[in-house]
Amino acid sequence: MNNFMHLLFSTDFAFSVLRVMTPILFAALGALISNKAGIVNIGLEGTMLVAALTGVITSAYSGSAWVGLLCAVLSGVIIAALLGFFTLKFKTHIILGGIAVNMFASGGTVFILYLVSGDKGASTSLKSGVLPNLHIPLIQDIPVLGPILSGHNVLTYVSLVAVAGLYYLLAKTPLGLQIRAVGENPKAAQSVGVKVNRIQFISLLISGFFASLGGAYMSMGYLSLFTRDMTAGRGWIGIAAEAVGRSTTIGTFLSALLFGAADALANALQILKLPAELIGTTPYIVTVIALMVYAISESKKKKRKLTKAKLKETKSS
């Protein structure tokens, strides 16, 4: 037990939480922006895979990790644009479109990997780039916080900045207002002159942008290679995190952090020799508990509102 506490309160553990959280957070932000616009992008997992592969291939051929990152982002945005083109222009159902993206990505990445490297499993024969880790000058000297916050991959910091950026975009800018309006009631938005399709298209592009950063992190930061289906469901967990966060930016960030922590905890617990099957359930148990806590607090709020309303009624009558 002592060992366990030692593990849980080590800086290494807190550091690993941020590291594990990053791809989930990117996917969750991608899910958030598309959901806000009322167009549910479930193609995040596929977009991440495509971006992960593009990053590896382009960085291997250009010799620069940054060119790789740029191309990865471009590929993600292109996938999102394609998805938007089919769903908004040709009215394909967005869920079907998303499924198509995921299936295409799972098979297509292996196919392209085979064309480029002659392998179908992993990109080990490509000399791909890795994005640098950042050691932040002042922060890294703070006793406990330093080793937790400093030394992460550059994309981990980008993900944190992206949370703030997305919050600002949604809450403070005209575009954000339009996105929210379109998501809540597209007909009403249209009636006041908002171009619904255009706003949804822009949201999808931003969604693809975030997902591609998550993908690039997987193959060029977290790991240094592409392997088939390497995202291993992180895109889906991102969508779940967005739902647990009730489509708010802060909530999404916190739930992504929670998922990251649960996953990191599941990894750390293995050292303690608890049964692996039990440990494997940790992330899901945490999710269920989080949802329960949320549901209880929510229903309490409602009850309070109801009783208040009733009180008012009785007073007025």
Partner 1 sequence: MKKALSLLIVLTIIFVTACSKDTSSGGNESTASNGANDALKVVLLIPGTLGDKSFFDAANNGLNEIKQKLGADTKVIEMGTDQTKWEPTFNDIASQDWDVIISGGSQITELMNSVAEKYQKKTFINYDTDINEVASNVYAVSYATNEISFLAGATAALLSTSNLPHANPEKEIGFVGGMDIPGINAFLVGYIEGAKYVVPDIKVAISYAGDFTNPGKGKELSLLQYKSGVDVIFNVAGGTGLGVFDAAKDQKKYAIGVDSDQSAMMQGTDDEKANLIVTSAIKKIDQVIFNAVKQMQAGTLTTGKLEIAGLKEDGVGLAENNVYQNVLSEQIRTQIADLKNKLASGEIKVSNAMGMDTSKIDEIRQSVKP
How far is the C-alpha of 214 from the C-alpha of 210, rounded, in Å?
A: 6
Instruction: Choose the binding region for partner 1 from 95-103, 116-124, 246-254, 293-301 (rule: CB under 8 A).
Output: 116-124
How far is the C-alpha of 216 from the C-alpha of 51, rounded, in Å?
A: 6
299 lines the binding site for partner 1 (CB under 8 A): no
135 lines the binding site for partner 1 (CB under 8 A): no
CB of 242 to partner 1, least distance (A): 20
CB of 230 to partner 1, least distance (A): 6
- Which of residues 242 and 263 has its CB atom nearest to partner 1 in the complex? 263
Please give the residues from 94 up to 113 whose contact with partner 1 meets the rule CB under 8 A.
110
Q: Which one among 63, 132, 165, 280 touches partner 1, defined by CB under 8 A? A: 280
How far is the C-alpha of 288 from the C-alpha of 247, rounded, in Å?
A: 17
Which positions from 4 to 23 touch partner 1 by CB under 8 A, shown as an x/- string? --------x---x--xx--x
51 lines the binding site for partner 1 (CB under 8 A): no
CB of 231 to partner 1, least distance (A): 8
Please give the residues from 57 up to 86 whose contact with partner 1 meets the rule CB under 8 A.
none
- What 152-156 contacts at long range (C-beta under 8 Å, 24+ apart), as own/partner pairs, is 152/15, 152/18, 152/19, 153/19, 153/22, 153/217, 153/221, 153/222, 154/221, 155/22, 155/26, 155/131, 155/213, 155/216, 155/217, 155/221, 156/18, 156/19, 156/22, 156/217, 156/221
Alpha helices in the chain (DSSP H): 2-8, 11-36, 44-62, 65-84, 94-117, 145-149, 154-172, 174-184, 186-191, 196-217, 234-244, 249-270, 276-280, 282-316
CB of 70 to partner 1, least distance (A): 22
| Cβ-based neighbour number of residue 131 at 10 Å | 23
Enumerate the β-bridge partners of residue 227.
122
CB of 19 to partner 1, least distance (A): 8
| Cβ-based neighbour number of residue 208 at 10 Å | 33
Whats the size of the chain, residue-wise? Answer: 317
Please give the residues from 238 up to 277 whose contact with partner 1 meets the rule CB under 8 A.
263-264, 267-268, 270-271, 273, 276-277
CB of 12 to partner 1, least distance (A): 6
Which positions from 200 to 239 touch partner 1 by CB under 8 A, shown as an x/- string? ------------------x---xxxx-xxxx-x-x-----
Q: b/e per residue, 225-234, with b = 16+ CB within 10 A?
A: bbbbebbeeb
Q: What are phi and psi of 137, to 5 degrees?
A: -45, -60
Give how many residues touch partner 1 by CB under 8 A: 37
CB of 96 to partner 1, least distance (A): 20
- Which of residues 37 and 268 has its CB atom nearest to partner 1 in the complex? 268
Rule CB under 8 A: which residues touch partner 1? Answer: 12, 16, 19-20, 23, 110, 114, 118-122, 124-127, 218, 222-225, 227-230, 232, 234, 263-264, 267-268, 270-271, 273, 276-277, 280
